[in-house]
Structure 1
Amino acid sequence: NNFELKQSLINLVQSNQFTGRKDPYNHLRFSNKVTSTFRHPEVPNTTIKFLLFPFSLEGEARTWLDKEPPRSILTWEDLVYKFINQFFPPSKTTYLRNEIINFLQKPNETFNEAWERFKNLLRQCPHHGFSELHQLDTFYNALNPNDQDALDSAAGGNFLDKIPRDGLAIIESKSKVRYSRSHVTDSRVSRNARLPSSSPSHYFDLQQIAASLEDKLDIRMNHFEKSLND
Structure 2
Amino acid sequence: MFVIHSKREAKEYSELGLICKLNEKFYECWKRYMEAINACPHHGFDTWLLVSYFYDGMFSSMKQLLETICGRDLMSKNPEEAMDFLSYVAEVSRGWDEPNKGEAGKNKSQPNAFNAKVGM
TM-score of the pair, normalised by structure 2: 0.65
**Inter-CA distance 141–161: structure 2 relative to 1 (3 Å threshold):** same
Q: Which digits, 9 at most, give the CA deviation of each residue in 1:183-206, with x for residues without a partner?
A: 227xx6xxx9xxxxxxxxxxxxxx
Higher relative contact order (Cα pairs below 8 Å, separated by 6+ residues): 2
2:58 is aligned with what amino acid?
Answer: L
Tell me which structure has the larger Cα radius of gyration: 1
Question: Which is worse superposed, 163-172 or 129-138?
Answer: 163-172
RMSD: 2.3
TM-score of the pair, normalised by structure 1: 0.36
Residue in structure 2 matched with residue 182 of structure 1 by the alignment: 97
Matches within 5 A, 1:73-222: 101-184=16-99
2:73 is aligned with what amino acid?
Answer: N
Checking the alignment, whether the CA contact within 8 Å between 1:111 and 1:178 is kept in structure 2 is: yes
Q: Which digits, 9 at most, give the CA deviation of each residue in 1:63-122, with x for residues without a partner?
A: xxxxxxxxxxxxxxxxxxxxxxxxxxxxxxxxxx67973352100211000000000100
Contiguous gaps of at least 5 residues in structure 1? 1-96, 193-230
Q: Which digits, 9 at most, give the CA deviation of each residue in 1:32-84, with x for residues without a partner?
A: xxxxxxxxxxxxxxxxxxxxxxxxxxxxxxxxxxxxxxxxxxxxxxxxxxxxx
2:21 is aligned with what amino acid?
Answer: K
1:143 is aligned with what amino acid?
Answer: M
Q: Measure, in 1, the Cα distance between the counterparts of 2:34 and 2:26.
A: 12
Q: Which digits, 9 at most, give the CA deviation of each residue in 1:117-153, with x for residues without a partner?
A: 0001001111111111000000011111121012212
Q: Measure, in 1, the Cα distance between the counterparts of 2:69 and 2:50.
A: 18
**Inter-CA distance 151–115: structure 2 relative to 1 (3 Å threshold):** same
Count the aligned residue pairs. Answer: 91
Checking the alignment, whether the CA contact within 8 Å between 1:103 and 1:118 is kept in structure 2 is: no
Checking the alignment, whether the CA contact within 8 Å between 1:106 and 1:114 is kept in structure 2 is: yes
Identity of aligned residues (%): 22
Checking the alignment, whether the CA contact within 8 Å between 2:37 and 2:43 is kept in structure 1 is: yes
